Amino acid sequence: MCRTRTNSKIRHKQCKYICPACHTSPPCNKDQETILCNTCNRDFRGSDCFAEHSKELCKILRRCKSCLNSVWVDKSKPHKCGYSYCRNCDADKPTRHLCFMAKNSSKKLNQNFVFIFYDFECRQDTPVAGNMFLHTPSLCVAEQVCNLCVNINDINYNCTSCGKRQHIFKKNPVGDFLNYVSALKKKVKKGDIVALAHNMKGYDGAFVLRELLKNKNAWNPKIISTGTKLMSINCDGNIKFIDSINYMPMPLSKLPKTFNFPGSKGYFPHFFNTLANQNYIGPMPAAHYYGYDEMPVLTRKEFLKWYDEQVKSDVVFNFQTEIIKYCIDDVSILRKACIEFWSRFTTSNSVDPFRESCTIAGACNAVFRRKFLQKDSIGLIPPNGYRMADKQSTIAIKWLLWLEHTLNIKIQHSGNSREVRLKEGILVDGFCVNTNTVYQFHGCYFHGCEICFPDQTAELSGNKHDAMFVRREKTTATSFRIRSFGYNLVEMKECEFRNFIKANVQAQEFTSNHAIIQNQPLNPRDSFFGGRTNAVKLYHKAEEGEVIRYLDVCSLYPFVNKYGKYPVGHPKIHVGNDVCKFLPLDYVEGIIKCTILPPSNLYHPVLPCRMHGKLMFILCRMCGETMSYNDCRHSDDERKFTGTYVADELREALSQGYKVLDILEIWEYEIAQYSKENRSGGLFTSYVNNFLKLKQECSGWPSWCVDDETKDRYVTEYLEREGIALDKSNISVNPGMRYIAKLCLNSFWGKFAQRENLMQSSIIQDPYDLFKILTDPSVEAHALTAIDDDTIILNWDRPDEGIVSLKTVNVALATYTTANARLELYKYLKQLDRRVLYFDTDSIIFTQKHGEWAPVTRDFLGDMTDEIECYGPGSKIVEFVSGGPKNYAFKVFSTKSNNYEYICKVKGITLNFKNSLVVNFETLKSMVLNDAVATYVQTDRRICRNSTYDVLSRPEKKVFRVNYTKRRRLEDSMDTLPYGYR
C-alpha cells in the first residue's frame, strides 16, 4: 500500500498503487475474507474487490488451473502451460529452456537518411570554483549528406532533398545547431538522422545534451553512457547523436592519411579564444596560446616551424576568419573520413555501422551474427549460471541448512543433491522424506512479496505477462496445491529470514561458513582474465655479444579467434569432486573450478589469480596476500588456492608441476577448432578469413614480389599457410579498406564479454516518472544527479534476480580467447625463461647471445615480428628499464638515423613535450637504480566533465613513481621472483 493516511476511498482515486486482485485503486484490504471466482479462478479481497473485478477484469485475466499462472486472455495466442515468451529467441519457449545466439537478420532500415558532421569551438575563459574554467561554445560548423548526395564530395552542393551542405552557427551555436537538426528532420520525412562528432562522448555531446534538456518534451532524449561519457543520445523522430571515435579510434589529424584523401588538421590558438578576443585582428597570437608545450615532440617541432614562418611573413591574424576556417577544416576531414568508412563498411558487410550500432564492436558483432553465425552454435549462458541460478537460491539454501542444523533432520535440496520434484510434478525448494514435509523459500522478487514490492501490477522488464501479482498468486496457489496433496508445508519469506539472520550471529556464522555455501557455483566470469603484463627484470644493459630483442605476435587475438579452441552450445554440468574425478583432465574440455597447489620453484607461473586489484601469477596464496619478500615457508594448506580456469590452461599448469587437490565443478563443452589439414572447422574461422583476406589484399604486394613468378609464389604460400586464396586482381594498396579490415579483426571478440547489467541512465523531469521508476520492482536505483531545477538524471540497473541474458554475450567465448592468448605468450616465456625482461599480452622483450634460441620472425598470422625493424635493419636495443607493468623505456641504436633513440611508455601519462622533460628514460632509470623519489607531471588545463555535464578545464597533477608489486624484487638485484618462490 502507499501508506498515505486517509479515511475515504474516494480521496485515493489517484493512488499510484493498484489492488493486485481487482486492479483498482487504492488497493483493497488484504485482511478481508478471500473470495474465489469460479470463472477466472482467481482470489479476491472481499465482496467489493470481487465486484470490481467482475466488471471487466474477469473477462481478460484468468488463472490457469493446470500451471497456476495468471494469464491475460489473448484470442490470437492461446495460453500454453509451461511456455512463455523469450525475448532472446523471439518465440514462445518452455519456461526452463536454454537460449542460443540467434542470427541477426538484415534490418529494414529507412530508405532515407541524413548524416550530420559537426564540431564546436569553445571559449574557456569563465572561471568557476576550484580553479577551473567553464567551456562555452562560441562556434559550430555542421555539414550534412543524405542518401541522395552521400557520394557527392562538393562542399558547395545544394541537394534537392537535404539542402545546402555547410552551415555555420555563431550567435547561439548549440541552440541554432539543434534548430537546424529539427528543421532538417521536418524536411527529410520518414528518415533517420545521425549526427557525428569526433569525441562526442567526452566533449561535444555534453553541450548537445544540456541544450536538449532545455526543451526535453520536444526531443525526449535518452542516453547511453559510461559514467559521464555519452556513448549515444537518442531522440524522438529517429534522431541520434553518436561518436565517430567509437568507430575510428584515432586522432582527427590521422584520418586523411588513413583514408587516403588530401587535407590536414591545422593549428589554432585555443587559449586565445576569449570573449575579449572575438573580433581580434592583428599580429599572430603568442605561441603559448596554441598550447605548444603540450603537443607531442614531433608535432611541436612541426608547429614551431610553421609558426616561425607565419611570424616572419607578418601574417595578420583575423580571429573570426581563422576560427571558422579551422573548424571547417576539422568538419570537412570528419565528413570525408566518416563517409569513406561508412561506404566501405556497409558495402562489404551488409551492416550500416552508424544506424545499427554505436560502436565498432557492436557493428562487428552484427556482421558476425548476420553473415557467419551457425545455428545453435553459441549458447546464451543464464545470467547467474546453470545451477543455484539466482541470488534467492543461495539464501534459500542457507535457510534449509539452518533448519537441518537446528531441527536435526535431513532435508533434500539443490545444495546437497539434485533439484527436488514431488511425485505430483511440483518443483520445491526442500523435502524431508521422514516427516513428509515440503519446505518452500519465497524469494521476495520471484514470489511477489507485497511488503518489499507494493506495486504489484507494474510490468516487469517490459513484459506485460509478468508482474508481482502474477508471481504472488502463483505462489499462493502452489502452496494450496501442495497442502491438498497431503504434504506438510513450511514456508519462509526472504525478507523475514534476512532480518532473522541479521539479528542472529550464530545462524549467520553457521550458514556463511558452511561448506555448501563456501563452494559457490562456478561463475564463468571468474575465469575471464585479461592479458599477461609484467616486468621480470627491472634493468638490463646489453653485455658484449648480447642484444636485447623486442618481438610481437602478429595479430594475436585474430590468430586465436581463427586457430584456437572454442566452446559450442551449452555445457554439461558436473558438480563435486566425487563426480568430477571420473572426468580425465587430460581430455575434458571446458571450464573447471578447482583447488590447486602450485609448484614452489617456477620462474614463470602459469595460472592467474586476482589479488590487490591486480592480475597476479603467484606460487603461494599467503605470500601473495601479504606480498611477502621472503622465501616461502608456508604449508601446502596455506599455499593452495581456488580458481576457475579453461581446461587447456589448467593442463599446461599440470605439465609445469601444479597439482589439482579438489575439483568443485566442471562445465564440460563440445569444442570447435579449425583444422589446417582439412581447412575446415572453427567457430570464428570464416569471419577471420573474410577480413584477413581483405586486409592482406589491401596491404599490396610485399616488396619482394617484383614479377609474376614471385607474385604467384606469394599467393601460393599464403594459401598453404592460411588456407586463404588471395585474388591477384584485388591486391593493391588501399589504406582505408585495410584499416577497416584490421578494425574488424581486432574489435570482434570483446562484445562477447560485455557485462549483462550495465548501469543505465534515465532523464526525468516529471515527478510521476521518478515515482514510477523508484517503485518499479525490476529496477534498482543508485544515484540521482540534479542537472537543473527541472531535470534530474537517475542511474539504475536491474536487481540480480531480474538480469536477463543479452543476445550478444557469451563470456565463455571471451574466456577462451584470453586464455588461449596467454598460453600463446607462455609458449615463449617458458622457453626463454630467465632471459625475459618484460612482456605485455602479445609482446616480449628478452636478451639473446650468440647461439641462444630465439623465436623465428615472419609476417604470417600468429608469427613473431620484430618491433625494432622500424628503426632500420640491424638496429638493436642496448639498454632497458622498467618500473612495472605498462611502465618501461629503452635505448635503441637506429641504423636509419645512425644515432641512439629513446622510447618511453608510461600508462596514464601523456608523454607530450612538457611531460617528456620529466618522464623519460633517464628519470625512470634513476628511479629504478637509485631509488630516486617520485616526480610529478603537471597539466595546467585538463578537460573534464562534472556530473551535470558541464565541460571544464582544471589543473591536474599526477605522481610518477616506481611501484613494483606484482612480483618480489630480489635484494641488491634487478631480478624478481614470483610470490611464494622457494
Q: With bands split at pLDDT 50, 70 and 90, how would you rate the model's confidence at 9?
A: very low
The Cα 928–Cα 969 span in angstroms is 11
Q: Categorize the per-residue pLDDT at 13 as very low, low, confident or very high, splitting at 50, 70 and 90.
A: very low
Structure confidence at residue 5 (pLDDT): 46
pLDDT tens sequence across 687-702: 999 999 999 999 999 8
* CA atoms within 13 A of residue 374's CA, in its CB half-sphere: 11
Nearest by Cα to 323 from 284, 286, 270, 276: 270
Locate cell 547523436: which residue?
241
Residue 2 above 60 pLDDT?
A: no
CA neighbor of 834 nearest in space, from 857, 858, 852, 851: 852
| Residue 46 identity | G
Superfamily of domain 112-358: Ribonuclease H-like superfamily/Ribonuclease H (3.30.420.10)
DSSP state of 490: E
Q: Please report how the helices 494-503 and 505-512 are oriented relative to each other, as an axis angle in degrees rounded to 10.
A: 110
- Report yes or no: 452 and 444 within 8 Å, Cβ to Cβ: yes
Cell numbers of 609, please?
589469480
Per the DSSP assignment, residues forming a β-bridge with 890 are 880, 903
The set of long-range contacts for 283-288, using a CB threshold of 8 Å and a minimum separation of 24, is 283/311, 283/314, 283/316, 283/317, 284/310, 284/311, 284/315, 284/317, 285/317
- At 8 the pLDDT is 43
Report whether pLDDT(473) > 80: yes
Cα–Cα distances in Å, from 65 out to 68, 88, 447, 707, 864?
5, 28, 18, 81, 67
- In the structure grid, which three cell numbers stand for residue 629, read together? 619478500
DSSP code of residue 194: E
307 grid coordinates: 609558426
Q: What integer is the mean pLDDT of 888-899?
A: 95
Share of the chain above pLDDT 90, in %: 72
For the cut 70, the answer to whether the pLDDT of residue 221 exceeds it is yes
| Amino acid, single-letter form, for residue 224 | I
Dig out the grid coordinates for 120 from the structure: 564546436
Q: pLDDT by residue (tens digit) across 174-185?
A: 999 999 999 999
Using CA atoms, how far apart are residues 624 and 55, in angstroms rounded to an integer? Answer: 69
Give the Å distances, CA to CA, from 841 to 232, 530, 555, 886. Answer: 31, 8, 11, 11
Residue 824 in grid coordinates:
600463446
Residue 42 CA neighbour count, 13 Å, CB half: 28
Average pLDDT value for the chain: 91
Q: For 757-770, write each residue's pLDDT tens digit.
A: 888 899 998 888 88
Residue 15: its pLDDT value, please? 56
Q: What CA–CA distance (Å, rounded) separates 204 from 2?
A: 43
- Band (106; pLDDT cuts 50, 70, 90): confident
User: Is the per-residue pLDDT at 964 higher than 60?
Assistant: yes
Does 7 have pLDDT greater than 80? no
Distance (Å, whole) CA 146 – CA 111: 10
The amino acid present at 522, given as its one-letter code, is L
**Please, which pLDDT band fits residue 164 given cuts at 50, 70 and 90?**
very high
CA 780 from chain centre, in angstroms, equals 20
**Degrees to nearest 5, angle at CA 836 with 833 and 837:** 150
pLDDT single digits (tens) 720-759: 999 999 999 999 999 889 999 999 999 999 999 999 888 8
Higher local confidence (pLDDT), 141 or 412? 141
Do 911 and 866 touch, CB atoms closer than 8 A?
no
Structure-derived torsion over alpha carbons of residues 292, 297, 301, 306, reported in degrees to the nearest 10: -50
**What pLDDT is recorded for position 10?**
42
pLDDT tens track for 847-875: 999 999 999 998 899 999 999 999 999 99
Mode of pairing for the β-strands spanning 976-977 and 968-969: antiparallel
Domain 391-519 of CATH type 1.10.3470: no
Q: What residue segments make up the domains of the chain, in order of their start?
A: 10-94, 112-358, 391-519, 533-672+811-977, 685-747, 757-802
In this model, does residue 256 exceed pLDDT 90? yes
Of 659, 402, 381, 626, nearest to 526 (Cα)? 381
pLDDT in tens, 81-105: 888 888 888 788 887 789 999 988 8
Helix 391-407 vs helix 494-503: crossing angle, to nearest 10: 60
Q: What's the CA gap between 815 and 591, in Å, rounded?
A: 9
Residues 354 and 346: their CA atoms lie apart, in Å, by: 9
Q: Provide the pLDDT for residue 122.
A: 97
Q: What is the mean pLDDT of residues 193-206?
A: 97
- In DSSP terms, 230 is beta-bridged to 225
Classify 367 as helix, strand or coil.
helix
* Nearest to 891, CA basis, from 868, 857, 917: 868
Model confidence pLDDT, tens digit, residues 812-850: 999 999 999 999 999 999 999 999 999 999 999 999 999
Max mean pLDDT range (94-103, 378-387, 437-446, 653-662): 653-662
SS3 of 159, please?
strand
Say how far apart CA 612 and CA 619 lie, in whole Å: 16
- Distance from first CA to last CA of the chain, Å, rounded? 65
Q: Cα–Cα distance between 69 and 73 in angstroms, integer?
A: 12
CA angle, 437 then 443 then 446, to 5° = 115
pLDDT at 771 over 70: yes
Rounded Cα distance between 829 and 831, Å, is 5
Q: How confident is the model at residue 388 (pLDDT cuts 50, 70, 90)?
A: low
Q: Band of the pLDDT at 6, cuts 50, 70, 90?
A: very low
Length of the chain counted residue by residue: 982
Q: Is the pLDDT of residue 75 over 90?
A: no
